[in-house]
Amino acid sequence: GAVVSQHPSWVICKSGTSVKIECRSLDFQATTMFWYRQFPKQSLMLMATSNEGSKATYEQGVEKDKFLINHASLTLSTLTVTSAHPEDSSFYICSAREQGQINEKLFFGSGTQLSVL
Amino acid sequence: GQQLNQSPQSMFIQEGEDVSMNCTSSSIFNTWLWYKQDPGEGPVLLIALYKAGELTSNGRLTAQFGITRKDSFLNISASIPSDVGIYFCAGHRWTGANNLFFGTGTRLTVIP
């Protein structure tokens, strides 16, 4: 099956710093990628939809200036958590849909555990 | 966003036992999917269901798409320790940008 690589797997940072998370589709091209946040013992909550070559679409309540998304190529989307604070500590997961497919099958990255001190 | 209700929230079972979990929604979905998430990992797709009433198996896993299109269940037969993890259902429909909705999850613990 298709592989989505997410990096880093975990990151610890100081409050006020910015953190960048990368999501790559390794063996397919993805025009659409999705970013989720998952708090402990909770489900995945969609944060934003990342479209290659255009601005991301953010879900209600998600600050676009805080969670910067860039999808500059068909295989890479990045999420930057700017001026991170302890409440931003969470598990962030990306997923990707293969180019040309309007299907429901999303391939997920392995997630990034962010801890803000 | 919409959330699907999944039950039970958690299960503790003996190795070898069968497991059943279900997912319900107030809205109709075109597709139902079941994912498994291991700790510190992203979800992995187990089964996808495309038609109301459809019953699909993947090894020891069997899932069904409810007739009303508002529910689905997942069964695991003869559980083994590596079945431990969190199981999420997800419903998919073609309206709107956010068209995949996740359930609340069922945390499965298998006791050897």
Q: B52-68: per-residue pLDDT in tens?
A: 999 999 999 999 999 99
Q: What is the pLDDT of chain A when averaged over all its residues? A: 91
Q: What is the pLDDT, as a whole number, of residue A100?
A: 66
- Nearest-5° angle of CA A24, CA A104, CA A50? 40
| Residue percentage of chain A with pLDDT more than 90 | 65
Check: CB of residue A69 under 8 Å from CB of residue A50.
Answer: yes
Q: Is the pLDDT of residue B75 over 90?
A: yes
Q: What is the pLDDT, as a whole number, of residue A1?
A: 65
A32 — pLDDT class (breaks 50, 70, 90): confident
Full strand arrangement of the beta sheet holding B55-58: B5-7, B19-24, B71-76, B61-65, B55-58
Q: Is the pLDDT of residue A103 over 90?
A: no
A–B CB contacts, 8 A cutoff, strictly below: 59
Distance of residue A109 Cα from the nearest chain B Cα, in angstroms: 5
Q: Is the pLDDT of residue A28 over 60?
A: yes
Q: Please tell me if residue A109 touches chain B, with a CB cutoff of 8 Å.
A: yes
Distance of residue A57 Cα from the nearest chain B Cα, in angstroms: 8
Neighboring chain B residues of A104 at a CB cutoff of 8 Å: 30-31, 33, 48, 92, 99-100
Burial class (CB in 10 A: 0-12, 13-18, 19+), B32: buried
